[in-house]
């Protein structure tokens, strides 16, 4: 009988995702460098070298915005429950 683990994500999943992302990013960087060197436009060359920083910045921004949105939704639910309790009493 096979046993199935019912877990969302654990360390080995995170490591595998990081390795796959790193290999994909390195491959993409090589292709971008070749394209930027062919075009010889300074703005495109700068973007080709800086895109990992943009990606990291976007990820950090998403991590910071998500908890704030979740807390805002929790506060709204709490306010709705308090309002509903007041209406049902009166």
pLDDT at 78: 65
Average pLDDT over residues 48-70: 84
CA dist., res. 33 & res. 37, Å (int): 6
Highest mean predicted confidence (pLDDT) among 53-62, 64-73, 75-84: 53-62
Q: What is the pLDDT of residues 2-57, one digit of tens each?
A: 556 666 667 788 888 889 988 998 999 999 999 999 998 899 888 888 988 898 89
Residue 13 CA: distances (Å) to CA of 17, 18, 22, 62? 6, 9, 14, 21
Residue 14 CA: distances (Å) to CA of 8, 21, 56? 11, 10, 16
Q: What is the pTM of this model?
A: 0.52
């Amino acid at each position: 009988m096979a046993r199935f683990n019912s877990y969302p994500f654990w360390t080995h999943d995170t490591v595998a995702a990081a390795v796959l992302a790193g290999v994909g990013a390195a491959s993409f960087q090589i292709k971008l460098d070749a394209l930027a060197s062919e075009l010889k436009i300074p703005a495109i060359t700068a973007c080709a070298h800086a895109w990992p920083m943009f990606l990291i910045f976007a990820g950090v921004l998403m991590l910071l915005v998500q908890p704030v949105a979740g807390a805002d939704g929790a506060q709204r639910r709490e306010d709705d429950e308090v309002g509903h309790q007041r209406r049902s009493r009166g």
